[in-house]
Chains A and B, each alone.
Chain A
């Protein structure tokens, strides 16, 4: 590590201007820093300048018309502590709670997790299942992308070098669940994780699988198989088998391909059963 200069712009305009001015050698962007600083220590990146988002007004959380908008620099711990998040998006709460430790979540952010696009992210799969969108700001104006379009591959996103992640939007409350398997429950990376959610408005399921490179993925056909309500046992088991075959998985140091495929089926079964139901047994 050769050290770097820290830029701390006081407004969004200043931040975007700083990114544009340094376009030939773009600064690394830091929110909580819990992932970027590890990469700097390991020599995977060696930025000459780092642009801090700490003075931008993005530590926000807003519920409007049933949609949740989370500012990109809100610490994950604050997201976890919002009682409405736990009640209306239980799967998101479980995914956030699965990230690192309390001390890490006091600094780590949703924007950072998306921007760094770690293949083992615990947040991306759940955001996929919730049909979340990312709002970006840049010199050519704002744009909105689905998380599915934003996360391209391991450590690769659709973010342009002069753009910043302003916020993440989740369009509606959804009964949901997020389950993972790890060697150790704490401070470890998931071997496989499954996020499921049910859209009350559209009466459909969504299913996403994480913990496998190059990136978490939505399983649209498996979700379709789950139907438009609580699936019965046979339907659920068939969908779980289909999911275990549908994912593209390889063996690595964390788990074998066969073990991961079994985990996909088992965690999908448990996750669908863990989705909270209403008084009439509907999700």
Chain B
């Protein structure tokens, strides 16, 4: 028997989820309950990647995740960039590469890439990183700069 999970931590702080309905999605908890608006809602069907956050270091679609199902986990969002070295480094690389146009998809790309670098390390081939970002869509189609941002983030990872 596994012990009941502990509280949810978001960007290093325990989250107050008093009165939260069981059916609430992690995306809504982050944006509306915790007022962390960096994580974006795109399609809400798991197709665009805009709502990507890290759950225990692994990229996760917050629109298709029940908050109650990740009780006890550490959730890291783009709003936690100050405390997460990987997210901070990818953010700087994207800024340096000009890897955004309207910017709406950017938090999802940054968090998804940070997750891949945590999973695979900076020695992962750039092709594998790009393959791993196939679930993130940029409606401005500014992909060329994003690809440069990925290469830069990889090169600057320790």
Residue ranges of A at the interface with B (Cβ–Cβ < 8 Å)? 1, 3-6, 8, 10-11, 30, 33-34, 37-38, 40-41, 50, 52, 54-55, 57, 77, 100-104, 106-107, 185-187
Give the number of chain B interface residues (Cβ < 8 Å). 32
The yes or no answer to B59 lying at the interface (CB within 8 A) is yes
Q: Are A103 and B22 in contact (CB under 8 A)?
A: no
Q: Are A185 and B22 in contact (CB under 8 A)?
A: no
* CB-CB contacts below 8 Å: B100-158 with A: 112, 115-116, 132, 134-137
The yes or no answer to B55 lying at the interface (CB within 8 A) is yes
Q: A10-B1, A52-B69 given as contacts; is B135 within 8 A of A100 (CB)?
A: yes
Contact of B22 among A37, A50, A104 (CB under 8 A): A50
State the Cβ distance, A9 to closest chain B Cβ, in Å. 10
Q: List 12 A-B contacts (CB under 8 A).
A: A1-B23, A8-B4, A10-B4, A40-B23, A41-B45, A55-B1, A77-B58, A100-B46, A102-B59, A102-B115, A103-B59, A106-B55
Q: How far is the CA of A187 from the CA of B115 in the complex (A)?
A: 18
Q: Are B64 and A55 in contact (CB under 8 A)?
A: no
Chain A residues closer than 8 Å to B39, beta-carbon distance: none
Q: Are A187 and B47 in contact (CB under 8 A)?
A: yes
| A interface secondary structure, majority | loop
Q: How far is the CA of A221 from the CA of B60 in the complex (A)?
A: 42
Q: How far is the CA of A100 from the CA of B135 in the complex (A)?
A: 7
Q: Are A187 and B69 in contact (CB under 8 A)?
A: no
Contact of A104 among B68, B116, B135 (CB under 8 A): B135
Q: Are B45 and A38 in contact (CB under 8 A)?
A: yes
State the Cβ distance, A56 to closest chain B Cβ, in Å. 8
Q: A10-B2, A104-B64 given as contacts; is B46 within 8 A of A34 (CB)?
A: yes
Chain A residues closer than 8 Å to B60, beta-carbon distance: 103, 106-107
Chain B residues closer than 8 Å to A37, beta-carbon distance: 25, 64, 66
Q: Residue on A with the closest CB to B63?
A: A37
Q: Are B23 and A103 in contact (CB under 8 A)?
A: no
Q: Are A107 and B135 in contact (CB under 8 A)?
A: no
Q: Are B46 and A33 in contact (CB under 8 A)?
A: no
Q: How far is the CA of A117 from the CA of B81 in the complex (A)?
A: 39
State the Cβ distance, A62 to closest chain B Cβ, in Å. 18
Q: How far is the CA of A190 from the CA of B69 in the complex (A)?
A: 29
Q: Are B2 and A3 in contact (CB under 8 A)?
A: no
Q: Are A3 and B47 in contact (CB under 8 A)?
A: no
10 nearest A-B residue pairs (beta carbon): A101-B135, A186-B134, A6-B22, A103-B59, A3-B23, A106-B58, A102-B132, A55-B2, A34-B64, A187-B47
Contact of B69 among A33, A77, A102 (CB under 8 A): A33
Q: How far is the CA of A8 from the CA of B61 in the complex (A)?
A: 21
State the Cβ distance, A191 to closest chain B Cβ, in Å. 17
* CB-CB contacts below 8 Å: B23-73 with A: 23, 25, 44-49, 52, 55, 58-61, 64-66, 68-69
Chain B residues closer than 8 Å to A57, beta-carbon distance: 2
State the Cβ distance, B20 to closest chain A Cβ, in Å. 11
Contact of A103 among B1, B44, B52, B69 (CB under 8 A): B52
Q: A33-B64, A55-B2, A102-B59 given as contacts; is B134 within 8 A of A185 (CB)?
A: yes
Chain B residues closer than 8 Å to A104, beta-carbon distance: 46, 61, 64, 135
Q: How far is the CA of A13 from the CA of B106 in the complex (A)?
A: 45
Chain A residues closer than 8 Å to B68, beta-carbon distance: 6, 8, 52
Q: Are B44 and A187 in contact (CB under 8 A)?
A: no
The yes or no answer to B21 lying at the interface (CB within 8 A) is yes
Q: How far is the CA of A106 from the CA of B56 in the complex (A)?
A: 11
Q: How far is the CA of A8 from the CA of B3 in the complex (A)?
A: 11
Q: Residue on B with the closest CB to A188?
A: B47
Q: Residue on B with the closest CB to A13?
A: B1
Q: Are B135 and A186 in contact (CB under 8 A)?
A: yes
Q: A3-B21, A3-B23, A38-B45 given as contacts; is B136 within 8 A of A101 (CB)?
A: yes
